Amino acid sequence: MRALVTGGAGFLGSHLCDRLLAEGHEVIAMDNLFTGSKKNIVHLLGRSDFEFVRHDVVNPIMLEVDWIFNLACPASPIHYQYNPVKTVKTSVMGTLNMLGLAKRVRARIMQASTSEVYGDPEMHPQREAYWGNVNPIGPRSCYDEGKRVAETLMMDYRRQNKVDTRIVRIFNTYGPRMAVGDGRVASNFIVQALQGQKLTMYGDGSQTRCFCYVDDLLEGMLALMKYEGDGAEEPVNIGNTEERSMSDLAACIGKVLSRQPEIEYLPLPVNDPVRRRPDISRAKERLGWEPRTSLEEGLGHTIGYFRKVLSEENAAL
């Protein structure tokens, strides 16, 4: 297959490029480098089966591809709230452009959706059938509602234009190649702990998330892209099911580092979801997928990555 990965220089996108190439596919990574970095794909430049295109997904593009993975969108709250109008444009116009391309070249397209479509959920754990509890006018809405419209567009292009679509609802995923300044909790805590700073705990640390290691997520995403069975167009939750409070995450990082970092308590951001855990029965039944990496193991790999990146940055000073 020839695959287009939008957001291909980002955290998840760059790992996806690696995986697709390892499976023998050709890959075009497209990215505007807003939160992504050429460093994430520098090892791929120069390969004959890989191309990088610097392009903003809000603008149309013509390419001949068989698969499209639409990951272009800032994912960390600080980045998607930096220019919220652009975030909405990226999800809405970007997904429209990618669906238009998929329609024209008859490509299969996967949209990277998110657990944020469930908002601050009233159903726990969250099943795909749950419609969510999203504030349409809050500071997180540009991301949450943008992704909800992206899902709507996927379903409408399927019904109206017979486009072959897949929707993956990704739950908090972490791992190597998150940016040092990404702003999400796993990378923030790890970078702060490695630099001997206090961990910035928003709220009292009792809010929960489930942290999925990047390798597990990619297994699930690729299995869904290849899935040909009934209901292939329906959204599928991919995430870990082990629910952790943020205090628990901080303690776990301390355990892996063999020293407990100090904590600085800061206000909880507006509309920050209280609890989140995926129901992954659909992924298990249809794809035979479940996560395999424990939080301790995944944090170990991620800490190793950040240790290397930070020491290279220090050496360059």
Contact residues toward ligand NAD (CB under 6 A) are 6-7, 9-13, 31-36, 56-58, 71-75, 90, 94, 112, 114, 170, 172-173
Asked if residue 188 binds ligand UDP (CB under 6 A), the reply is yes
170 binds, among ligand UDP, ligand NAD, none (CB under 5 to 8 A by kind): ligand NAD
- Name residues contacting ligand UDP, limited to 96-155 (CB under 6 A): none
Q: Give the amino acid at 73.
A: C
Asked if residue 74 binds ligand UDP (CB under 6 A), the reply is no
Exposure string (b/e) for 163-184, b if CB count within 10 Å is 16 or more? Answer: bbbbbbbbbbbbbbbbbeebbb
CA distance 48 to 120: 45
Which of 272, 300, 305, 310 touches ligand UDP (CB under 6 A)?
272
Of 32 and 172, which CB lies nearer to ligand UDP in the complex structure?
172
Residue 58 structure tokens? 């809000």
- CB 164, CB 101: distance < 8 Å: no
Of 139 and 315, which CB lies nearer to ligand NAD in the complex structure?
139
Which of 68, 201, 280, 299 touches ligand UDP (CB under 6 A)?
201
- The CA–CA distances, whole Å, from 23 to 29, 49, 56, 64, 279 equal 16, 12, 27, 19, 29
CA distance 82 to 185: 17
Asked if residue 253 binds ligand UDP (CB under 6 A), the reply is no
Q: What are phi and psi of 127, to 5 degrees?
A: -100, 160
Which bin fits 179, alpha (ψ -120 to 50), beta or left (φ > 0)?
beta
H helix and E strand count, the chain: 9, 13
CA distance 187 to 272: 18
Residue carrying structure tokens 């190793």: 304
200 binds, among ligand UDP, ligand NAD, none (CB under 5 to 8 A by kind): ligand UDP
Using alpha carbons, select from 275, 272, 276, 274 the residue that is nearest to residue 139: 272
Tell me, yes or no, if 82 is annotated catalytic. no
Stretch that binds ligand UDP, among 61-69, 99-107, 180-188, 307-315 (CB under 6 A): 180-188
Which of 7, 74, 77, 220 touches ligand UDP (CB under 6 A)?
77
7 binds, among ligand NAD, ligand UDP, none (CB under 5 to 8 A by kind): ligand NAD
Which of 79, 108, 166, 209 touches ligand UDP (CB under 6 A)?
209
Output the smallest distance, CB 8 to ligand NAD, in A. 7
Binding site for ligand UDP (CB under 6 A): 76-77, 172, 184-185, 188, 200-202, 207, 209, 246, 268-269, 272
